[in-house]
């Protein structure tokens, strides 16, 4: 599995988890979690800087196309 796939899987899980917790608790602070992930993905598209990709690279995960 490549860094790109792991980043997208992780982002999807975190967004899903944040929205699910919000749904059950109705605490609007949980909406900060998916908003942060979305904002980070947005800035990574323009800058190429992704903290998770850097961590995965140090852990030896095979690079993909987007975060090499």
**Cβ-proximal residues to 12 (8 Å cutoff; 6+ apart), any chain:** none
- Asked whether residue 42 is domain-assigned, the answer is yes
CA 33 to chain centre: 10
User: Is 65 within a domain?
Assistant: no
Q: Indicate yes or no: pTM above 0.95.
A: no
pLDDT in tens, 19-68: 999 999 999 999 999 999 999 999 999 998 999 999 999 999 999 887 65
How many domains, in total, are found in the chain?
1
* Distance set, CA 42 to CA 22, 32, 39, 63, 65 (Å): 22, 15, 5, 20, 17
Contact 11, 61 (CB under 8 A): no
Q: What is the pLDDT of residue 55?
A: 96
Q: Is residue 35 part of a domain?
A: yes
Asked whether residue 53 is domain-assigned, the answer is yes
Residue 64 domain-assigned (yes or no):
no
For the beta carbon of residue 6, count every other beta carbon within 10 angstroms: 19
Residue 33 belongs to what domain range? 3-58
């Amino acid at each position: 599995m490549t860094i790109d796939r792991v980043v997208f899987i992780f982002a999807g899980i975190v967004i899903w988890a944040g929205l699910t917790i919000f749904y059950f608790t109705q605490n609007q602070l949980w909406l900060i979690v998916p908003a942060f992930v979305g904002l980070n993905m947005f800035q990574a598209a323009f800058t190429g800087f992704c903290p998770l990709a850097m961590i995965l690279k140090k852990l030896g995960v095979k690079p993909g196309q987007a975060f090499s």
